[in-house]
């Protein structure tokens, strides 16, 4: 079962990475403008980040295996549609639905891991293997995407179809049917009003952040203002309904809140850094897609370290200390690369990439442990949805921030813009380290707070 679930999260990682590499070829073949090309990426982020919370709760209520299988099938079909697209808007629509499918599939897979493996070392090891596979998918996708694009960008969409089909057949065989009985009570129903308001709010938040660097300040403020208003409505709905989509009491778990804040900053820093690094290598230095992919491959070191080194460090020092050390390591990596010069050799860049891979091994997996510990089994999908929503929103925020800073500073020499933009991931990593320091007071453990038991479903929950 773990092999199947790792295959799915590997698929999700490799799909995103391969598309990043193929974007220039897609634009050249379909004749897309820069704005339309931006939407090829933004549509996936909107679908993924906007529906993740709903997907996590749906897994709890309607069955994790059922949700996983159905949305994996949707992922397969619409990935194939993207490969057949002959115009930009068909491709954008396919990417949006693919993102929605991933938003339902990913928390279902994570909650299958957390509810199947016993809490403690067994679950921790499984989560670290799972998160390491996700990172391995992303780093592998950078190289595979470059190779497939040389044969034709459509293979970047057709390859996930083949992989999805294999995973789907294996899932039908190996995922336990009892997983569908592990969700919420059959008397519960989906909080429709809460689902509509929170999904619309998150979509608007991601949209506002994603487009902040490309639209006027008034439009961005309007989008974000509408998102905040919908979030306020969502909170009111959740306080009054007897069966909330998100039990607000879950946020009393300080370790969960801390893990989600760090997750947002971790991905914001990493995706912002990757964006600047790729621009520097591809456009400023003129490196090929494949050469750039291989240059960044060392970051995928965490796929090896997560299931091997990280479990030993957690047993010795506890998740809180490991996460703190990992964020300091990330800050050091960003600080080293922030001095990048016009003619740096790869040897000069290598230490930063190596440290970044190490930092992900120390942070990404332990965050999935801390973010799901102390949570009742019937809310594991919700906890996973919260964590992955934080990852996606952080990625959108980081990309928007570095784009805005680079564009405002790099009018003359692009290198000046890169230097300024690289301060964004550095600041985010330092802030994440400061937040993670609050968990150190709990010693060598994971630093979790006991989760209060859910209130009876017959009474309002606040």
Rounded CA gap, 461 and 281, in Å?
A: 52
Does pLDDT of 461 surpass 60? no
Predicted confidence at residue 411, as pLDDT, reads 64
Distances (CA, A) of 149 to 17, 21, 159: 12, 8, 11
Of 454 and 89, more confident: 89
Crossing angle of helices 289-296 and 346-370, rounded to 10°: 60
pLDDT of residue 179: 63
In the predicted model, what is the mean pLDDT of residues 335-352?
93
pLDDT of residue 410: 58
pLDDT over 60 at 365, yes or no: yes
Q: State yes or no: pLDDT of 425 exceeds 70.
A: yes
232 HSE (CA, 13 A, CB side): 6
Cα 454 to Cα 119, 261, 293, 321, 378: the distances in Å are 19, 23, 47, 29, 10
Q: Does the pLDDT of residue 302 top 60, yes or no?
A: yes
C-alpha pair distances (Å), 229 with each of 180, 198, 223, 250, 365: 35, 10, 10, 22, 34
DSSP for 93-130, written as a single string:
HHHHHHHHHHHHHHHHHHHHHHHHSPTTHHHHHHHHHH
Contact 114, 127 (CB under 8 A): yes
CB 209 within 8 A of CB 396: yes
State pLDDT tens for residues 220-277. 889 889 999 999 999 999 888 887 888 888 898 999 999 999 999 999 999 889 888 8
Nearest partner of 309 among 366, 386, 237, 348, judged by Cα: 366
Q: Which residues contact 345 (CB under 8 A, 6 or more apart)?
A: none
Question: Looking at residue 175, what DSSP letter applies?
Answer: S
pLDDT of res. 350: 96
Q: Which pLDDT value is given to residue 233? A: 93
Q: Which of 5-9, 91-95, 175-179, 420-424 has the lowest mean pLDDT?
A: 175-179
- The CATH number assigned to the domain with range 2-190+245-437 reads 1.20.1250.20
Q: Summarize pLDDT for 127-186 with one digit per residue, the tens.
A: 888 988 887 887 788 788 888 888 888 999 999 999 999 999 999 999 988 766 544 445
Lowest mean pLDDT among 88-92, 187-191, 322-326, 347-351: 187-191
Residue spans of the domains in the chain: they are 2-190+245-437, 191-244
pLDDT surpassing 70 at residue 303: yes
The pLDDT tens digits of the residues spanning 437-457 come to 988 865 444 444 334 434 333
Q: Which of 4, 50, 108, 72 is nearest to 380 (CA)?
A: 108
Rounded to 5°, the CA angle 97-99-102 comes to: 110
Q: Please report the pLDDT score of residue 134 as a whole number.
A: 84
């Amino acid at each position: 079962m773990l092999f199947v679930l790792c295959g799915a999260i590997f698929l999700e990682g490799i799909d995103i990475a391969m598309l990043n590499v193929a974007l220039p070829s897609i634009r050249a073949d379909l004749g897309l403008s820069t704005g339309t090309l931006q939407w090829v990426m933004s549509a996936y982020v909107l679908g993924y980040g906007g529906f993740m919370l709903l997907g996590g709760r749906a897994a709890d209520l309607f069955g994790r295996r059922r949700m996983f299988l159905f949305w994996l099938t949707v992922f397969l079909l619409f990935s194939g549609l993207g490969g057949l697209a002959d115009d930009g808007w068909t491709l954008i629509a396919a990417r949006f639905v693919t993102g929605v499918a991933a938003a339902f599939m990913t928390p279902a897979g994570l909650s299958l891991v957390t509810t199947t493996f016993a809490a403690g070392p067994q679950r921790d090891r499984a989560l670290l293997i799972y998160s390491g596979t996700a990172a391995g998918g992303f780093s592998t996708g950078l190289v595979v995407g470059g190779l497939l694009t040389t044969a034709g960008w459509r293979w970047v969409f057709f390859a996930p179809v083949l992989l999805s089909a294999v995973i789907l057949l294996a899932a039908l065989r190996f995922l336990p049917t009892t997983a569908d009985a592990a969700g919420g009570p059959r008397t519960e129903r989906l909080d429709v009003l809460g689902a509509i308001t929170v999904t619309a709010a998150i979509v608007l938040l991601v949209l506002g952040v994603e487009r902040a660097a490309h639209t006027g300040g008034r439009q961005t403020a309007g989008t974000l203002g509408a998102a905040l208003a919908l979030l306020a409505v969502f909170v009111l709905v959740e306080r009054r309904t007897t069966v909330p989509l998100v039990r607000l009491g879950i946020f009393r778990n300080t370790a969960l809140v801390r893990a989600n804040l760090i997750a947002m900053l971790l991905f914001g820093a990493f995706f912002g850094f990757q964006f600047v690094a790729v621009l520097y290598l591809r456009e400023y230095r003129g490196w090929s897609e494949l050469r750039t992919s291989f240059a960044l491959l060392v970051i995928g070191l965490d796929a090896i370290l997560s299931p091997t080194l990280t479990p030993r460090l957690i047993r010795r020092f506890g998740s809180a200390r490991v996460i703190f050390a990992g964020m300091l390591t990330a800050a050091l990596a960003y600080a080293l690369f922030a001095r990048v010069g016009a003619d740096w050799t790869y040897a000069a860049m290598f230490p930063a990439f190596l440290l970044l891979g190490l930092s992900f091994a120390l942070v990404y997996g332990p965050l999935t442990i801390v973010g799901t510990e102390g949570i009742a089994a019937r809310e594991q999908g919700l906890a996973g949805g919260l964590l992955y929503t934080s990852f996606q929103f952080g990625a959108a925020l980081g990309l928007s921030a570095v784009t805005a800073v680079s564009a405002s500073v790099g009018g003359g020499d692009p290198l000046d813009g890169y230097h300024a933009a690289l301060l964004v991931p550095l600041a985010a990593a330092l802030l994440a380290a400061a937040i993670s320091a609050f968990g150190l007071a709990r010693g060598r453990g994971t630093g979790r707070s006991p989760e209060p038991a859910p209130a009876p479903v017959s009474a309002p929950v606040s």
